[in-house]
Every structure is written in structure tokens, then in C-alpha cells.
Amino acid sequence: MSDKSIMELSNIHKSFGNVDALKGVSISIKKGECHCLLGDNGAGKSTLIKIMSGVHRPTSGEIKIEGRPIEISGPRDAINSGIATVYQDLALIPLMSVARNFWLGRELTKKIGPITVMDFEKCNSILMSEMDKIGIKLRDPSQSIGTLSGGERQTVAISRAVYFGAEILILDEPTSALGVYQTSNVLKTIERVREKGVAVVFISHNVSHALAVGDKFTVLSRGETLGTAKAGEINYEELQFMMSGNKELSELKDR
């Protein structure tokens, strides 16, 4: 793990009209590190990832990638800068085949005479080997995404982002809608991706999922960062306590 930050956000403010969604958020993400972003609903998590993925622009503040200040002008621009975002339920299109989804927007083509067509043979064979690597058994590349489980869909979306060269992978609540078994598969995938040197930003409000894979934990509350801790420096109760806005919600958990 290197010490250099691959992405650094400092003092990010974002207001929508007279609502301040982010009030000076700073976060630094390193290569090969899984940085968990924790916070309750409305803490500003989604605003922050939308700024990182180019959907919103910050009102003020600075974004640096590999030390250079940049402006992310849109989702496409973010992707070109190596920032890929996997949204909870917007990752893939259920009616389309796994192959069509995987290559969407970056279709491999070949020429038949003057006509450019999709190179399905090549698309399918690369897809099958990529799916094999992440442990998804496909019957055939043309089966629809809808036939996969929620966990498998997240895994496909993550491996697609990594295959296309993402260096910073933002995962928006990847486990929140999943069962226990599927969650553990997705967490394993995150582990594998991190070992490749990809920086993972893992957004969650589930502390135990975060603790299972996280190297660092930043807690957001009401548009501000409450601080960043390394793995081992903080435990479940402390994180839960910070997230719940210093209310003893953790006590209610076992009800």
C-alpha cells in the first residue's frame, strides 16, 4: 500500500438552493485501499459520491487526482479519469443480456465490408473468462441480467468497471439490498479488486459490512466529516455511535 493519495477532496461544499448538503468535507483515498464512507440517511453520502463521479459539481472546494487539481465536468469525464461508480440499483439493465450489459457503451466492433458490427464472438469469450474469474457461472452470455441474483449483478457491475480500467471504484450501498450469502460474495469481490491496487470507496450504512473489508472509515454526519479512523483503531460500537449522531441507537439494535 503506497502512501500517496490517488484522489483527494478538500473542504468540499455543496449547496442546493439554501440547503447545505455538504459543509466542508475532506477525504483522501489511497491506492489499493478500501475506504468506507459511513453515515445515516441524509448525512451527505450520496451528494459526495455524485460529486466524485461527476454528476454534481461542488459549490466550492478542491478535487485532486494523483496530486493534480482537476474539475470533473460529467460522468463521462469521471470515467475517463479512471473513476467508476457502481450504483445500487442503476448498475445494469435487467432486460438486456449479460454480454450486452457488460459491453454497453464500449462495444467491441469489427468490420464486415463497409459496415461496422458488434464483435459478439470476442465480446462473449472475454465476458465468459471475466465471469469465470469472479466465480459467476453463466449458462450463456445471452442470458438476461434479470436471471442473476442481486449479488451477482453487483459483482458483474464491479468486474465490468475494473475490466475497463477503473482506478477508483465507488460503490454505492452495494450490499444494502442483499442477503447474507450474497453480501459475503460481494465483499469477497471487493477484497479481490482492492488487491489489484484499485482504490475502493465503499458507501454503506451497515457498520458490520464496512468493518469486514474496510481499511479506513470516514463517518459523515449532517454534511460534515466526523473524522477518519484506520482499521483496528475503532470498533463496531464506536462507529455505530458516531453514525447515529451521538444517540444511543445501538442499544435499540437488539430489540
Contact residues toward another protein (CB under 8 A) are 75-76, 79, 85, 87, 90-96, 100, 103-105, 107, 109, 116-118, 139-140, 142-144, 146-148
When the beta carbons of 62 and 107 are compared against another protein, the nearer one is 107
- Rounded to a whole number of angstroms, the minimum distance from the CB of residue 5 to another protein is 25
When the beta carbons of 169 and 234 are compared against another protein, the nearer one is 169
- Rounded to a whole number of angstroms, the minimum distance from the CB of residue 13 to another protein is 24
3-state secondary structure of 81: coil
- Three cell numbers at 243? 453514525
- Rounded to a whole number of angstroms, the minimum distance from the CB of residue 99 to another protein is 10
When the beta carbons of 34 and 92 are compared against another protein, the nearer one is 92
When the beta carbons of 100 and 209 are compared against another protein, the nearer one is 100
- Rounded to a whole number of angstroms, the minimum distance from the CB of residue 87 to another protein is 7
When the beta carbons of 167 and 172 are compared against another protein, the nearer one is 172
When the beta carbons of 1 and 90 are compared against another protein, the nearer one is 90
- Rounded to a whole number of angstroms, the minimum distance from the CB of residue 178 to another protein is 14
- Rounded to a whole number of angstroms, the minimum distance from the CB of residue 84 to another protein is 10
